[in-house]
Structure 1
Amino acid sequence: MPGLERRGWVGPIIFAGVMMIVLGAFHVFQGFVALVNDDFYVQNDRLAIHLDYTAWGWGHLLVGTVVFVAGFCVLLGQVWARIVGVILAVVSILVNIAFLAAYPGWTTIMVAVDVLVIWALTFHGREVRPPGTGGSPYRGD
């Protein structure tokens, strides 16, 4: 990719960036569905946090947009985007767990992908850097 210094484990970082873009799009899609059709998701009192589905929709839109943008920045090798990516993946897990009773299958998929993103961003985070930053992927510099 242009603007990236490739290292041995760059694949998981590219995976994380692409999956963050996909997760962001999924969250935005979930948000639009919740805003447009409140009856799409199962209406019950078993939700961990009781909010109106319109509020859930806006929450998903907000989180999704930030995850989407951060995913592109991870692909550009931005360190801050990796940090934001991990934080937002944790927030995404928490939001989805609270949403579990409304749509369990989808929630399980979203949480699993969030866990993979966290793994890739934390384990292989130094493998993608902007050009000219130097350092070795094998030392802590």
Structure 2
Amino acid sequence: MTTAPNPATPGGPGRQATSGNPSPWAAGGTMFAAVLMIITGIFQIFEGIAALAEDDVVFRVRGYTFQFDLTTWGWIHLILGILVLVVGIAILKGTTWGRALGIALTGLMIIFHFLWLPYQPFWSLIAIAIGVFIIWALCTDRSEPAF
């Protein structure tokens, strides 16, 4: 069975119109990005609360003892977690500012994982690939909000 090219579709057969039918991969990627950001935001909030509640950590590395005050990191995790959670919800609602902040936060995540590449190469490459997919999905999906 053959199909005739649809003249209304820009680019000819096999191409999807950007304003008509959204790509299922982009729509699924956007949903994935939003849910991932919501879950990450919740975990960041819990990490921030845990660091603020028990802010003195002592550990031993190769004969040296280090003591850290985690109050600053706790506040950073707490604020960043709230921001990521709100952005994830905004992406699900289909807001433009949510997509823009989602792209910006994911771009920062890619840069941080690139810098972490010498220390954890396997995980960094996976995180960079997921980040690139999320940015692509947020930039190309034009479907309706999830709720």
Q: Indicate the TM-score class for this superposition, using the shorter chain for normalisation.
A: 0.5 to 0.7
2:43 aligns with one of 17, 22, 26: 26
AA aligned to 1:127 is: D
Whether 2:141 is the aligned partner of 1:127: answer yes
Q: How many aligned residue pairs are there?
A: 115
AA aligned to 1:31 is: G
Could you tell which deviates more after superposition, 116-125 or 12-21? 116-125
AA aligned to 2:52 is: L
Q: Say which structure, 1 or 2, has more relative contact order (CA 8 Å, 6+ apart).
A: 1
Offset at residue 58 of structure 1 (A):
0.5
Q: Mark the CA change 1:61 to 1:72 in structure 2 (over 3 Å): closer, same or farther.
A: same
- Report the structure, 1 or 2, having the larger strand content: 2
Two-structure CA RMSD over aligned residues (Å): 3.9
Offset at residue 27 of structure 1 (A):
0.8
Offset at residue 56 of structure 1 (A):
0.5
AA aligned to 2:71 is: T
Rg larger in structure:
2
Q: Is the 8 A contact 2:34 2:88 kept in 1?
A: yes
Q: Mark the CA change 1:88 to 1:43 in structure 2 (over 3 Å): closer, same or farther.
A: farther
Could you tell which deviates more after superposition, 89-98 or 5-14? 89-98
Q: Is the 8 A contact 1:63 1:88 kept in 2?
A: no
Whether 2:73 is the aligned partner of 1:60: answer no
2:24 aligns with one of 8, 11, 16: 8
Any stretches of 5+ residues in structure 2 without a counterpart? 1-20
Identity in percent: 30
Could you tell which deviates more after superposition, 19-28 or 111-120? 111-120
Offset at residue 122 of structure 1 (A):
1.7
AA aligned to 1:58 is: W
Name the residue aligned to 1:136.
none
Any stretches of 5+ residues in structure 1 without a counterpart? 46-50, 99-103, 132-141
Structure 1-normalised TM-score? 0.60
Name the residue aligned to 1:101.
none
AA aligned to 1:34 is: A
1:69-115, Cα deviation, whole Å (9 max, x unpaired): 100111122222122113223445678999xxxxx99xx97x77864
